[in-house]
């Protein structure tokens, strides 16, 4: 296939994705739980209008705007306060500035909350998911064929709740984390390489800083660096300058958040989630986050089973490294299952896994590689993969955004499965 055809197909895919998300949200309106600036999404977004329009003066905000956007932020003593960090807003900023510039020219209120700003968030999420998928493909072709890499990316995108958070819940943090995780994986092999210039290490520092700034718990992703490249302690000492440079860049990226915390709380370091935390640490809800009809990972994204199976098929990796990848998945699962609200509120599937599909795409591609060499397995599992993709898309377009029944209400789950799409 020529490069021109590939570019055209990519352009069509991007255009269709933008159309799909805008069309989907055109039916729901704004200032309700389906809208792009609501609850958590508003909490991530508020930094932009607060900084660029209202000078962080809560008295200047539109009346009752916190209540109208699901109380994702609030005003206290004239200060605009949100428990969420500013990474999502930082990535949305270029789209926000363009939108703010053209809003009045197109007949919209330039207050940061009119419908055009909601549309901007959709375009932003689709754009980052688009480039994330390309980077994931470029990462995978280092290990498997271009055909298998393409199929793997398509299956992970369409067969998991990654699709849902790319098209439906565009204001949440997950698609932005997914983008940064794929950047991290793509750049990792070039880091701490004497042949690579300083600019690349600075870029990597920016990526790491943004990963943490999106969601501080994302720091748990950083050990993934050693899944694909190993160093001895003595070797790391030879790269001390590069390491210090990257750490310095990470700190620079985080400084705006420290300044905001000082403004909001009086302290440069602040735990903004108050009484929310990992209260299930000693009784993690693993079975719930994996198998509950209330957003269980394997129930809503069963294709992940093949990705986990692929861990044991990565022949070019040692047994120890394959065990490490499996243990890493279990560790992340334990952390997710330890959060005080293991359902993670109104969501589709177990949403904290979305960004980690960047890693799971790797063993999934090896699963495909293994079955591709066996005709009958290729037919059987190929059929199953297609069914799982169709199943996920059916559930996505039937789901209302919240699970209202009990944690193990299978009757309601099957009613959802057989219901009409919305």
Confidence tier at 145 by pLDDT (50, 70, 90)? very high
Percentage of the residues of the chain whose pLDDT score is greater than 90: 76
Give the pLDDT confidence of 278-301 residue by residue, as tens digits: 999 999 999 999 999 999 999 999
Q: What average pLDDT is seen over the chain?
A: 92
- What is the pLDDT at residue 368? 93
Mean pLDDT to the nearest integer, 417-422: 84
Assess whether pLDDT exceeds 90 at residue 60: yes
- What is the pLDDT at residue 234? 65
Total residue length of the chain: 422
CA distance 89 to 300: 28
Sequence-separated (6 or more) residues with CB below 8 Å from residue 4: none
The whole-angstrom distance between residue 245's C-alpha and the CA centroid of its chain comes to 27
CA distance 30 to 34: 8
Tell me if residue 36 falls in helix, strand or coil: coil
- What is the pLDDT at residue 312? 87
Residues 369 and 378: beta-carbon distance below 8 Å? no
Mean pLDDT to the nearest integer, 127-156: 96
Mean pLDDT to the nearest integer, 248-260: 97
- Report domain extents, the chain: 3-16+120-418
Assess whether pLDDT exceeds 70 at residue 367: yes
In the chain, what's the furthest Cα-to-Cα distance? 68
Residue with tokens 């958070």: 165
Assess whether pLDDT exceeds 80 at residue 85: yes
Mean pLDDT to the nearest integer, 46-75: 95
Give the pLDDT confidence of 157-171 residue by residue, as tens digits: 999 999 999 999 999
Assess whether pLDDT exceeds 90 at residue 314: no
CA distance 422 to 413: 16
What pTM was computed for the model?
Answer: 0.95
The whole-angstrom distance between residue 170's C-alpha and the CA centroid of its chain comes to 10
Percentage of the residues of the chain whose pLDDT score is greater than 70: 97
* Alpha helices, H only, 104-197: 115-140, 146-158, 162-167, 174-187
- What is the pLDDT at residue 228? 75
Residues 394 and 278: beta-carbon distance below 8 Å? no
């Amino acid at each position: 296939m020529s490069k021109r055809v590939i570019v055209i197909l990519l352009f069509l895919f991007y255009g269709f994705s933008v159309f799909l998300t805008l069309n989907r949200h055109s039916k729901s309106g704004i200032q309700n739980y389906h809208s792009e600036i609501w609850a958590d999404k508003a909490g991530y977004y508020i930094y932009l209008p607060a900084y660029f329009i209202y000078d962080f003066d809560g008295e200047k905000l539109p009346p009752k705007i916190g209540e109208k956007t699901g109380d994702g932020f609030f005003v206290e003593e004239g200060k605009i306060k949100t428990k969420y960090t500013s990474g999502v807003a930082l990535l949305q900023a270029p789209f926000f500035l363009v939108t703010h510039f053209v809003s009045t020219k197109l007949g919209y209120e330039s207050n940061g909350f009119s419908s055009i700003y909601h549309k901007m968030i959709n375009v932003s999420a689709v754009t980052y998911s688009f480039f994330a998928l390309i980077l994931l493909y470029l990462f995978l072709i280092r290990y498997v064929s271009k055909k298998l890499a393409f199929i793997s990316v398509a299956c992970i995108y369409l067969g998991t709740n990654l699709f849902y958070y790319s098209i439906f819940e565009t204001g949440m943090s997950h698609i932005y984390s997914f983008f940064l995780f794929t950047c991290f994986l793509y750049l990792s092999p070039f880091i701490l390489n004497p042949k690579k210039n300083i600019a690349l290490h600075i870029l990597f520092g920016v990526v790491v800083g943004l990963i943490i700034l999106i969601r501080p718990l994302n720091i748990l992703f950083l050990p993934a660096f050693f899944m694909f490249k190993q160093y001895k302690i003595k070797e790391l000492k030879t790269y001390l300058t590069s390491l210090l440079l990257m750490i310095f860049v990470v700190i620079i990226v985080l400084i705006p958040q420290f300044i905001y915390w000082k403004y909001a709380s009086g302290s440069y370091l602040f735990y903004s989630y108050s009484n929310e935390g990992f209260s299930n640490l000693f009784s993690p809800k693993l079975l719930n986050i994996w198998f509950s009809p209330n957003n269980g990972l394997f129930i809503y994204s069963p294709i992940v089973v093949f990705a986990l199976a692929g861990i044991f098929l990565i022949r070019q990796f040692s047994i120890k490294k394959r065990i490490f990848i499996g243990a890493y998945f279990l560790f992340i699962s334990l952390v997710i299952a330890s959060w005080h609200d293991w359902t993670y509120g109104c969501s589709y599937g177990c949403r904290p896994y979305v960004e980690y599909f960047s890693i799971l795409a790797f063993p999934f591609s090896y699963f495909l590689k293994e079955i591709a060499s066996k005709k009958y397995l290729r037919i059987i599992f190929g059929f199953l993969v297609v069914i799982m993709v169709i199943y996920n898309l059916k559930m996505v377009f039937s789901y209302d955004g919240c699970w209202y029944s009990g944690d193990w209400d299978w009757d309601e789950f099957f009613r959802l499965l057989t219901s009409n799409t919305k």
